């Protein structure tokens, strides 16, 4: 059984992550209005998925011996399931990829998916190397 | 006009229906939906763990079900102004938080380390491929139900 504290941590992290994703999406949309067409495969979903993978890597892959002390029990569910889980999204990634295929063709869709996977995995690994 | 066909949205008394969420309302809807979606995933993760399913299977089930529902909602409501809360609450909030990319990336990396790069690559690329199928299935099913 898990405690109320854990549920609250997940819910709070989820609320924060979702609002952060919504904000970043709007920001990227605004920036793209001033950018050239060459930035087209970079959208808000890609940015949040990369940032969230970086944040999850920092939590899940960091060197445990480097930690200054034991994490409080709420930190892991708050960060991993709540914040990072909500900041990143799979459903919108698939909707964006499907939209990309309809609008710009299969090649552009594959480029978008490959960029997400590649940058996501690199960010995850990078997060793990970040101190502390 | 066909009298059996009711309008999708009841008209507001002032005739300018329905109310669009203001920026604060939209943020509140996203936050509430996000809290719900993350809790739901937490519960399903726990259930999957309890019955002994590998975490990758739980994540895949969450991601595919959420993507299927998003396909249905987008086909049904699109970005329609008639249902101004569907997008911030259900699509961005609940489904956006319920599904996850970061955990998928982490599990793919773990699998790559344990079983080789091919297995890890297959998990992340295969998940997205299946996600596209789930999205299209939801989108088409919902469209054909109208």
Per residue, the 3-state secondary structure of chain A, as one string, reads CCCHHHHHHHHHHHHHHHHHHHHHHHHHHHHHHCCCHHHCCCCHHHHHHHHHHHHHHHHHCCCHHHCCCCCCCCHHHHHHHHHHHHHCCCHHHHHHHHHHHHHHCHHHHHHHHHHHHHHHHHHHHHHHHCCC
> Residue A70: what pLDDT?
74
CB contact under 8 A, A11 and B35: yes
> Residue A1: what pLDDT?
53
Of A2, A18, A117, the CB nearest to B97: A18
> pLDDT tens digit string along A75-101?
999 999 999 999 999 999 999 999 999
Higher pLDDT, A103 or B11: A103
User: What's the whole-number average pLDDT of chain A?
Assistant: 90
> Residue B144: what pLDDT?
79
Query: Is the confidence at residue A35, as pLDDT, over 80?
Result: no
Q: Does A110 touch chain B (CB under 8 A)?
A: no
Q: How far apart are CA B45 and CA B60, in angstroms?
A: 11
Per-residue confidence band for A125, with pLDDT thresholds at 50, 70 and 90: very high
Verify cis geometry, omega within 30 degrees of 0, for the bond prior to B81: no
Picking from B47, B45, B52, B51, the residue whose alpha carbon sits closest to that of residue B104 is B45
Picking from B56, A107, B62, the residue whose alpha carbon sits closest to that of residue B70 is B62
Mutation target among B97, B117, B119 for the A interface, most CBs of A within 10 A: B97
Positive or negative, the CA dihedral B137, B131, B92, A11 is: positive
Residues of A within 8 A of B46 (CB-CB) are: 2
Q: Predicted ipTM? A: 0.93
pTM above 0.95, yes or no: no
Stated length of chain B = 146
> pLDDT tens digit string along B43-87?
999 999 999 999 999 999 999 999 999 999 999 988 677 788 999
Q: How far apart are CA B31 and CA A13, in angstroms?
A: 10
């Amino acid at each position: 059984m898990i405690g109320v504290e854990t549920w609250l941590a997940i819910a709070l992290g989820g609320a924060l992550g979702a609002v952060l994703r919504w904000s970043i999406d709007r920001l990227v949309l605004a920036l793209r209005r001033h950018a050239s067409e060459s930035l087209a495969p970079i959208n808000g979903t890609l940015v949040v998925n990369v940032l969230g993978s970086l944040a999850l890597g920092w939590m899940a892959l960091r060197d445990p011996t480097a930690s200054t002390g034991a994490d409080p029990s709420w930190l892991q569910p708050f960060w991993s399931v709540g914040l990072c889980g909500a900041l990143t999204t799979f459903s919108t990634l698939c909707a964006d990829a499907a939209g990309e295929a309809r609008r710009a063709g299969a090649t552009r869709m594959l480029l978008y998916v490959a960029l997400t996977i590649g940058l996501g995995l690199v960010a995850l690994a990078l997060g793990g190397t970040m101190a502390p | 006009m066909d009298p059996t066909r009711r309008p999708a949205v009841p008209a507001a008394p002032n005739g300018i229906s329905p109310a669009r969420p203001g920026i604060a309302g939209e943020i509140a809807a996203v936050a509430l939906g996000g809290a719900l979606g993350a809790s739901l995933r937490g519960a399903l993760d726990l259930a999957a763990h309890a019955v002994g399913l590998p975490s990758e299977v739980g994540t895949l089930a969450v991601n595919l079900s959420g993507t299927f529902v998003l396909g249905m909602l987008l086909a049904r409501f699109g970005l329609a102004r008639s249902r101004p809360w569907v997008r911030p609450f259900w699509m961005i909030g609940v489904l956006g938080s319920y599904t996850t990319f970061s955990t998928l990336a982490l599990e793919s990396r773990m699998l790559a380390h344990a079983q080789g790069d091919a297995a890890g690559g297959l998990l992340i690329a295969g998940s997205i491929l299946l996600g596209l199928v789930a999205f299209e299935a939801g989108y088409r099913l919902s469209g054909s139900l109208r």
